[in-house]
Every structure is written in structure tokens, then in C-alpha cells.
Amino acid sequence: MEVKVFDNDVEKALKILKNKLSKSGLFKELKLRRAYEKPSVRKKRKAIEARRRMAKVQRRKSS
């Protein structure tokens, strides 16, 4: 991932970088990896996320 700094505006570049990282899901992944997650809990979480994604796709198709 790359963010260009224009006119020595590091603050704006950091803001853009944080936004890109959060959209890519990095912060969510780091939060999940802080503590051990049992395989059954992981499987359940993945299923819920998949259901959420499918519902989102369905909403977009119907609109």
C-alpha cells in the first residue's frame, strides 16, 4: 500500500493511510488476532460474516 505525501502534508497522508488500512480490514484482523479464538467460534463468526455479505449483495441486486 502506498500513500504519496504532497507539500510536506504528513497529517493528511496519515489520515489517508489510516482510511485505506481500515477499508482493507487490517485493523479488524489485528483486533481478532490479539486473543485466541476457538475453532468453533471462528467457524460461527465466518458463517455470520458470509451471511452478512450475501445479504448485502442481495440488497444491491434488488435495488
Task: Give the global pTM.
Answer: 0.63
| C-alpha triplet 10, 11, 15: angle, nearest 5° | 115
Report the amino acid identity of residue 43: K
Q: How many helices (DSSP H) and strands (DSSP E) are in the chain?
A: 3, 0
**What digits encode the pLDDT tens for the residues 29-52?**
999 999 999 999 999 999 999 999
Q: Domain boundaries in the chain?
A: 10-62
- pLDDT number for residue 10: 95
* Residue 33 identity (one-letter amino acid): R
> Which pLDDT value is given to residue 1?
85
